[in-house]
Chains A and B, each alone.
Chain A
Amino acid sequence: MAIMLKMDDVNVFYGAIHAIKGINLEVDQGEIVTLIGANGAGKSTTLRTISGLLKPKTGTITFEDKIISGQPAHKIVEFGISQVPEGRRIFANMTVMENLELGAYVRTDKNGIKEDLKRVFKHFPRLAERKKQEAGTLSGGEQQMLAMGRALMSSPRLLLLDEPSMGLAPLLIKEIFEIIKDINKAGTTILLVEQNANMALSIANRAYVLETGKITLSGSAKELSNSEDVRKAYLGG
């Protein structure tokens, strides 16, 4: 399988704090890769670096053989990477439809946008029911669906998901993860950051474990969920 995204010895700083310490990471086309780890390990920072919201101090990030590190966030969306930010960050005072339309902001192909809108409504029928509702009045789960649908509207080849389970009820988490699987089956590669390691490992092909800015373990999701260390640290025994 072709390598889609590659991080090569990437270092990121917040001022003087060395948040990401020389990360090497690969995502192959068609995979679901998950990044697990405790609070403050640098999971979100890694995602934000890929999507261009943060700039690495050293190291390169390549996407489909193009170097994307150092490019501004809006350019990276045009390359085909879309991020669902942590805490959803929907446009609360806009309608569901307007949120989705903004997701297609960088596109000009009207027919393609229509197709993708249909696709989003197929993944998330509840959004279709609430097209005209103000996004701020949706429930937490629906807002997460909207954030994911919005990200899909830019027709990304790589989708970055930051803590999709945050603040959701267990039943809803299950539903969201089923949808993530469906989106992946429909051809979108996914890099998933999650605290809920159990859920993440259950749908991922491969996983990386992050600890205080370094990758300490990596392997297939199956291997990792059977590993003694991971089970003790992240899976509750």
Chain B
Amino acid sequence: MNSLRKRDLKAIVISLIVFAIIQGLISSEFLDPFWQLNIIVICINIIMSVSLNLINGYTGQFSLGHAGFMAIGAYTGAVLSVNFHMPFIIGLIVAFAVAAIIGCLIGLPTMRLRGDYLAIATLGLGEIIRIVIMNVNYVGGAAGFMGIPKTTNFAWAFFVMLFVVFFIKNYVNSSYGRACVAIRENEIAAEAMGVNTTKYKVLAFTIGAGFAGVAGCLFAHTFYIIHPSSFTFLASFNYLIMIVMGGMGSITGSIAGAFILTTISALLSNWPELRMSIYALLLIGLMFYRPQGLFGNIELTSLPIFRHFKGGK
């Protein structure tokens, strides 16, 4: 237990150093506004991929509607800021709550489905959420919602991301996380061992949806305008690619996947058609040479080299 705390402390110190370096680069204007924005987007995408990984990677429930929950959080946060003049932190909390509640309501029936059926159901639900938003005039409908204060800066994005990553890391290492992995490995056996499978599946889906809502709220306050077309099926698919690339069942992998793919798409932003081709080639290559993803289900901290650094065995 004590050594675990020590490890957490070290991770926090390293994170703070990373933060200080990047913040320094931003303050000294070494990074131009385009890259400043992209760093925030990377943080948001990490929240999305890590929370999706809890559902897809750890619990093994193939969800394809993650962008839908992001949209819920984005619009909830935007409405609270613009129409109710709430502080940003309240927006984040309420965005989490609303997305989580809707996630739970959707999860209760859909988590009884398996495999392909679940994928189709969540895919449909993600689209339904988007289309409902598109038809609600109160939030601007298809024209989008404008005038959102640009509150999200690097510090907000980074520390919210850090919180989410630590929360999910601790969750998957708890007995709850064990139950999730047991469900992924073999649902019938898990049930026969006394794991309440429905409860843990819905719980993972709820938490994942809630954090997608938080990411949505950060997203809305980054861009001044949000638009239903930002939350299509393709967006959900993009997050799925991140976790597949990084390795399902590895938090380090999700972070790496989000970082790499967001960086690539930023680098190629001037050649959008090239971007999709390179994505495709990357994925094909990955499936050939490393089908389990960059990290498989291994965490950076459990690699031998890291253990050596820490003086452990």
Given known contacts A90-B186, A92-B185, A93-B185, A105 and B192 CB-to-CB distance under 8 angstroms: no
Residues from chain A with Cβ under 8 Å of B185 in the complex: 91-94
Residues from chain B with Cβ under 8 Å of A151 in the complex: 192
- Within the assembled complex, what's the spacing in Å between the Cα atoms of A174 and B189? 25
Of A53, A74, A89, A103, most buried by chain B (CB within 10 Å of CB) is: A74
> In B180-229, which residues have CB < 8 Å from any A CB?
181-182, 185-186, 188-197
A106 at the B interface (CB under 8 A): yes
Instruction: Please tell me if the beta carbons of A105 and B194 are within 8 angstroms of each other in the complex.
Output: yes
Instruction: Please tell me if the beta carbons of B182 and A83 are within 8 angstroms of each other in the complex.
Output: no
A123 at the B interface (CB under 8 A): no
Instruction: Please tell me if the beta carbons of A77 and B192 are within 8 angstroms of each other in the complex.
Output: yes
Name the residue on A nearest B196 (C-beta). A74
Instruction: Please tell me if the beta carbons of A73 and B191 are within 8 angstroms of each other in the complex.
Output: yes
Instruction: Please tell me if the beta carbons of A89 and B189 are within 8 angstroms of each other in the complex.
Output: yes
Residues from chain B with Cβ under 8 Å of A74 in the complex: 191, 194-197
- Within the assembled complex, what's the spacing in Å between the Cα atoms of A82 and B175? 20
Shortest Cβ gap from B160 to chain A (Å) = 32
B179 at the A interface (CB under 8 A): yes
Given known contacts A91-B185, A93-B297, A83 and B178 CB-to-CB distance under 8 angstroms: no
Given known contacts A90-B186, A91-B182, A91-B185, A102 and B193 CB-to-CB distance under 8 angstroms: yes
A51 at the B interface (CB under 8 A): yes
Q: Which of A78, A82, A92, A101 is the one whose CB lies under 8 Å from B192?
A: A82
Given known contacts A77-B193, A78-B194, A89 and B182 CB-to-CB distance under 8 angstroms: no
Instruction: Please tell me if the beta carbons of B179 and A105 are within 8 angstroms of each other in the complex.
Output: yes
Residues from chain B with Cβ under 8 Å of A56 in the complex: none
- Within the assembled complex, what's the spacing in Å between the Cα atoms of A185 and B179? 32
- Within the assembled complex, what's the spacing in Å between the Cα atoms of A151 and B179? 16
A150 at the B interface (CB under 8 A): yes
Instruction: Please tell me if the beta carbons of A85 and B192 are within 8 angstroms of each other in the complex.
Output: yes
Instruction: Please tell me if the beta carbons of B188 and A85 are within 8 angstroms of each other in the complex.
Output: yes
Name the residue on A nearest B185 (C-beta). A91
Given known contacts A72-B196, A74-B196, A105-B179, A89 and B191 CB-to-CB distance under 8 angstroms: no
Of B175, B182, B192, B297, most buried by chain A (CB within 10 Å of CB) is: B192
Q: Mark B141-185, 1 if CB is under 8 A from A, else 0.
A: 000000000000000000000000000000000010011011001
Knowing that A74-B196, A91-B182, A94-B181 touch, tell me 16 more A-B residue pairs with CB under 8 angstroms: A72-B196, A73-B191, A74-B191, A82-B192, A83-B192, A85-B188, A85-B189, A89-B188, A92-B185, A98-B178, A102-B182, A105-B178, A105-B195, A106-B194, A151-B192, A154-B194
